[in-house]
Structure 1
Amino acid sequence: MIIEIAGHAFTAVFEERKSPKTCAIFRKAMPFAGEIVHVRWSGEGVWIPLGDRDFAVEYEDATSYPAPGQILLYPKGKSETEILIAYGCVRFASKAGTLAGNHFATITSDLDKLREIGVATLWEGKKSILFKA
C-alpha cells in the first residue's frame, strides 16, 4: 500500500495476520482520502477524525501504545471513529480517556520524514492524506 501525506509517498504494509477483518474492511474503502490533524491528548501522532463513520469491525490486535509508523483504526465506542498514525511516542487517548485501536497497517519507509510531517502538522495545521493500493 502507498500512503501519500502532504505530497510525500510512504510504503506501508497491511497487518493481515494480526488484524484480518480490519484490513479487509479498510481495503474495501480504498482509495481512502482525508486530512490529518495533530493529536490533542495522545502525544506524537496525527489522526483522521471520522465522526460517526462505522467500519463495522470489532477490536482485533488493539493497542493504546503504537510504535512510530503504526496505524490504528478506532472503530467507534466511547469516542468518535478515527484513524491514528504514530510518528513518535504515543499513548492513544481522547477526552474520554485512554483508547485502544486496531493496529491494521504499518508504514515501513521514511519514518524520519513521517516525523517531519507530524511536527509540521502540529505547527502548520492539517495535511492531505491518501491511502491507495
Structure 2
Amino acid sequence: MKLKITAGPFEFSAVLETAKAPKTCEAFLRQMPFEGKIVHVRWSGEGVWIPLGDRDFGVGYENHTSHPAPGHILLYPGGISETEILLAYGGVDFSSKMGQLAGNHFITIASNRDKLPELGQLTLWEGAQQIRFEMADA
C-alpha cells in the first residue's frame, strides 16, 4: 500500500511494510488520515518524531529496530517511554532519557529521500513542522 506524506514544505511517497509489520500497519491505517507535528529528536541523532503521550495503538513489537535507516518510519508503542512515531533522516540510535528504545519499522519513504536532511534541518532550526499521512492516489 502506498502513502503520501506531507511534512513541512516537502512531499514524499511511501510504502506500508504490511508483510513485516502487519499489526502495526493495520492499527495505523485505522487512524488515517493521520496528522501531527514533528519535532527534532533529543537523544537519537538525525531524526524527527511525533510525541504521542499515552496513545495506545494496541500493538506490541514487530519488525522492531533501534537503528533505522534514513527514510524508515518507526512506531514505538509505548512502555518505558511515551508512544511516538520516529522518522530517521540520517544516522539514528533510537533512545530516550530512559535509555535504548526499539520501534516497529512500518513505513519506508520511497521518493524524495534526498529531501529528508533538509526536513531535519528545517525542524531543528525553525521548529515543529506539520506532518500528514494519507493514502496515495492510485
Q: TM-score range by the shorter chain?
A: over 0.9
Select 1:123's aligned residue among 119, 122, 125: 125
May I ask how many residue pairs the two structures share in their alignment? 133
Where 1:4 maps in the other structure, the secondary structure is strand
Which structure 1 residue ranges, 5 or more long, are not aligned? none
Select 1:34's aligned residue among 30, 33, 36: 36
CA distance in structure 2 between the partners assigned to 1:9 and 1:45 by the alignment: 17
Moved over 6 A (4+): none
CA distance in structure 1 between the partners assigned to 2:96 and 2:60 by the alignment: 19
Q: Which residue of 1 aligns with 2:90?
A: 88
**TM-score with structure 1 setting the length:** 0.99
User: What one-letter code is carried by the residue in structure 2 that aligns with 1:12?
Assistant: A
Identical columns (%):
64
Q: Identify the range of structure 1 (77-86 vs 3-12) with the bigger mean alpha-carbon deviation.
A: 3-12
For residues 10-49 of structure 1, the aligned pairs below 5 Å read: 10-49=12-51
**TM-score with structure 2 setting the length:** 0.95
CA distance in structure 2 between the partners assigned to 1:7 and 1:89 by the alignment: 22
Q: Identify the range of structure 1 (112-121 vs 66-75) with the bigger mean alpha-carbon deviation.
A: 112-121
CA distance in structure 2 between the partners assigned to 1:90 and 1:47 by the alignment: 12
User: What one-letter code is carried by the residue in structure 2 that aligns with 1:65?
Assistant: H
Please, what is the CA RMSD of the aligned residues?
Answer: 0.6
Structure 1 position 7, deviation (Å): 3.0
Which structure 2 residue ranges, 5 or more long, are not aligned? none
Where 2:116 maps in the other structure, the secondary structure is helix
CA distance in structure 2 between the partners assigned to 1:118 and 1:30 by the alignment: 24
Structure 1 position 6, deviation (Å): 0.9
CA distance in structure 2 between the partners assigned to 1:122 and 1:98 by the alignment: 22
